[in-house]
Amino acid sequence: MKGIAEQSNFCPFYFQRRKKDHADIIFLPYNYIFERKLLNVLKINLDGSALLIDEAHNIEKVCEDSHSSELSTKTIDSCLEDLKGISILVDKRNDSLTEFPQLGKSKLDTKEEFLRNIDKNKLHENENILVSLKNYLKSLDVKQGFWPNVGRRFSSKDLFEMIFEGSKKQDPNQSLISGFIAKSSSSNANRIGFDPNNLAEHIEFLKNLDEGITQEFNKNSNLSAYVDFLNLIKELYLNYITLLKKEDQIYKIENDYDCLINNYKIFVLDEEEGNGNQNFNNQKTQKNRDSYAGKVRKISLFCLNPGLGFKHIIDSGVASIILTSGTLSPINSMEAELKCDFKIKLENKHVIDPKQVNFSILKNSLDNSKTVFDFRSNNRGFEMNEKLGHVICDLIKVTPPGTGVLCFFTSYAFMQSCIEAWSKKSIISEIERSKEIFKDVQNARSKTGNIIQSFNDACGDGITNKRCRGAILFSVFRGNSSEGIDFSDEKARMVIIVGIPYPNLGDMKVNLKKEFLDEFARKPNKMPSLKLKSNEWYLQSALKAVNQALGRVIRHTYDFGSMVLIDTRYKELVNQNAFNKWLRENHKVYEDKLILERNKNFFDEMKCKLKNFY
């Protein structure tokens, strides 16, 4: 198909984009709908539409990300390279026609017209602005505040000063954070940079450059992210200054979530620099860059209210919105996050018979010590990890021959520490006698496909499974194998959950989210019923990850499998309706080897009951 398309100069992607204007049903990833830029590019009109969002368990994060933005010194470097590259071509406009002889005459004409229409003064002005912004960002002291030695949180007034004062030429060693109030003064009148009156003009200029670079030079422009960042600044500032004038009291605005900036946290931090990009003229310039001692400074505007992104869809005129997923429970927390009271809610039973799932909670080890399994980070140790390994050995021995087992840990570090402990005690060798071992790899999504394929090949198909040893895949929650992978039938007859995957408190965004929720809960609000406490969000984030991992084992009506949760804390959680209805109604808590007998009986019964299917 690809060859036919290339020969006929036909692009299926753009063909489908044209057909959508006359389509009754459009299928697309739902993040395309929430990303305002993509929605505008695709020219999708939601007015009067029925919007059905499947796998909506991640919708809160998608809504937050769609309204968040960031700007780094590395992005500024890339933008400067694009602007300087364009500047050179503008200066040599006549010569540039001979630099691209492989292109057709009509293409040269449009490229020439694009270069001819560029305002050179405006081009240099924006170069100076970028240099000033970079110098200003580097001058900030970020090793103070609520996140010592990592980064620093800034206020909304600080943010606007960064843009409107930091974009003007200045002493690179002088920080400007000093209680900025947006007023033009005679002393600043002649300083080139952004101000509330010219920001929109600069955005339009940069947007046209971005589109021209993409269309005329067939190159992804680095200006796109910069333009998105400035557009968000413009939106936030216009809303802020309008309410400020209306209220006359800043403290009132800080309590008002109609003020968009109050739904954000502004954070500046340093990150390790990645690989350098290439500049506009495709020449490596990393050696000429100011690498800031191997660090990249980044200012992030985190939208922590997913209700903003969801409101954008509601306000588009959509007729109805239907959210579906196997892991939306508890629905009230999703309503609180999206700031939307859903009038119609339905929590169904699963399509399978409840007897096709064996849902178990194991509180302790199966030896005489009865060591309580509580895998909080401060409780873990070599001995507990060793006892966990023996339990996993016992569990996989009762699974049918040739079948797959999935085992999820709370982190790669925890997984690795367990595997190392098991290697020292020959537990790994014992596991390998029952199942072939596979391990997910951190930050290597490109390798995931090969790992999954090898894992599947080591498992049976329900008919010839006795010829296979079967396999166990060690992975982590929220990792490459915990969502979106279809481990049906013999590929996953058991899923083992080790610990509770609470979000990492070492992640500054997790702390900012918790802080935002607590602030939102304390302040006056028009929707008191749609408030979510930070501890509730923290727990529910963990349980969503668990439910997603559990969902790998049941993939169709005739599928069956065992789910084993190893941590004593799950006993309380299941009694608090923390799990989906179809699971919590059939759970059993174990403290001894009866869990092994029940699991073996379960697999024997399922093979007998569903033998006609196989």
Q: Which domains does the chain have, with CATH numbers?
A: 2-65+312-338 (3.40.50.300), 67-309 (no CATH), 354-501+553-609 (3.40.50.300)
Quick check: 128 and 153 in contact, CB under 8 A? no
Q: Which two tokens stand for residue 576?
A: 């608090």
- 184 pLDDT band (50/70/90 cuts)? very low
Higher pLDDT: 244 or 289? It is: 244
The encoded tokens of residue 181 equal: 């109030």
Of the listed ranges 105-119, 233-247, 341-355, 400-414, the one predicted with least confidence: 105-119
**Higher-pLDDT residue of 568, 346:** 568
By C-alpha distance, which of 328, 19, 344, 315 is closest to 27?
A: 19
Q: Which of 145-154, 204-213, 241-250, 440-449 has the highest mean pLDDT?
A: 204-213
SS3 527: coil
Residue 118 has pLDDT above 80, yes or no: yes
pLDDT at 141 over 90: no
- Two structure tokens written together for 5: 């398309």
The highest-confidence range among 245-254, 508-517, 519-528, by mean pLDDT, is: 508-517
pLDDT score of 349 more than 60: yes
Rounded distance between C-alpha atoms, residue 384 and residue 282, angstroms: 55
What's the average model confidence in pLDDT over 134-155? 77
DSSP-derived letter for residue 364 is B
| Residue predicted with more confidence, 244 or 420 | 420
211 is written with which tokens?
Answer: 């589109």
Q: Give mean pLDDT, residues 406-435.
A: 93
Q: Is residue 247 pLDDT above 90, yes or no?
A: no
Is 410:476 a contact under the CB 8 Å cutoff? Answer: yes
Give the span between the Cα atoms of 504 and 498, in whole angstroms: 16
- Which pLDDT score, from 0 to 100, does residue 1 have? 55
What is d(CA 325, CA 41) in angstroms, rounded to the nearest whole number? 28
> Bridge-partner residues for 151, per DSSP?
269
More confident residue, 126 or 467: 126
Mean pLDDT within 106-128:
80
Q: Taking residues 569-579, what's their average pLDDT?
A: 82
CA 229/CA 72 separation, integer angstroms: 10
CA dist 422 and 424 (Å) reads: 5
Q: What is the mean pLDDT of residues 377-398?
A: 93
Q: Which of 24-28, 77-81, 143-147 has the lowest mean pLDDT?
A: 143-147
- CA–CA distance, 554 with 610 (Å, rounded to integer): 14
Residue-wise pLDDT tens digits, 550-565: 888 887 888 889 999 9
Q: What is the mean pLDDT of residues 271-299?
A: 56
| Residue, of 499 and 186, whose pLDDT is higher | 499
Q: Does residue 481 surpass a pLDDT of 80? A: no
Q: Using 50, 70 and 90 to split pLDDT, how confident is the model at 22?
A: confident
Does the pLDDT of residue 441 top 80, yes or no?
Answer: yes
Question: 3-class DSSP state for residue 216?
Answer: helix
The whole-number pLDDT of residue 186 equals 40
Please tell me the predicted confidence (pLDDT) of residue 291. Answer: 43
Banded model confidence at residue 199, pLDDT cuts 50, 70, 90: very high
How many whole angstroms separate alpha carbon 301 and alpha carbon 283? 32
Mean pLDDT of 368-374: 94
- Cα-only R_g, the chain: 28
Q: What is the pLDDT of residue 600?
A: 94
Q: What is the pLDDT of residue 610?
A: 62
- Segment 56-92, tens digit of pLDDT: 888 999 999 999 999 999 999 999 999 998 988 888 7
Q: Is the pTM of the predicted complex or chain greater than 0.95? A: no
Beta strand ranges found along 192-328 (DSSP E): 264-272, 295-303, 320-323
The reported pLDDT for the residue numbered 124 is 92
Region 357-369 average pLDDT: 93
DSSP 465-530: GGGS--EEEEEETTSTTTSS----GGG-SEEEEES--PPPTTSHHHHHHHHHHHHHHHS--S-GGG
Q: What is the pLDDT of residue 290?
A: 46
> What percent of the chain has a predicted confidence (pLDDT) above 70?
82
Q: Report the pLDDT value the prediction gives residue 463, as an integer from 0 to 100.
A: 54
pLDDT at 437 > cutoff 90: yes
- Residue 378: CB atoms within 10 A of its CB come to 6
- pLDDT (0 to 100) of residue 453: 86
pLDDT tens per residue, range 422-435: 999 899 999 999 99
- Amino acid present at 478: R
Burial class (CB in 10 A: 0-12, 13-18, 19+), 556: exposed
468: which residues sit within 8 A by CB, 6+ positions away? 401, 402, 458, 459, 460
* Mean pLDDT estimate for the chain: 82
Contact status, residue 555 vs residue 456, Cβ threshold 8 Å: no
Instruction: Answer yes or no: is pLDDT of 331 > 60.
Output: yes
CA distances from 41 to 33, 38, 67, 226, 296 (A): 11, 5, 16, 17, 30
Whole-number Å distance between alpha carbons of 435 and 422: 15
Token couple for 390 = 């023996």
Place of tokens 């020449």: 283
> Residue 465: pLDDT above 50?
no
User: Residue 205 to residues 131, 163, 234: CA-CA distances in angstroms?
Assistant: 17, 17, 15
187 pLDDT band, cuts 50/70/90, is: very low
For 268-297, what is the mean pLDDT? Answer: 57
pLDDT over 70 (residue 439): yes
State yes or no: pLDDT of 389 exceeds 90: yes
Q: What tens digit of pLDDT does each residue of 295-314 get?
A: 899 999 999 999 999 998 99
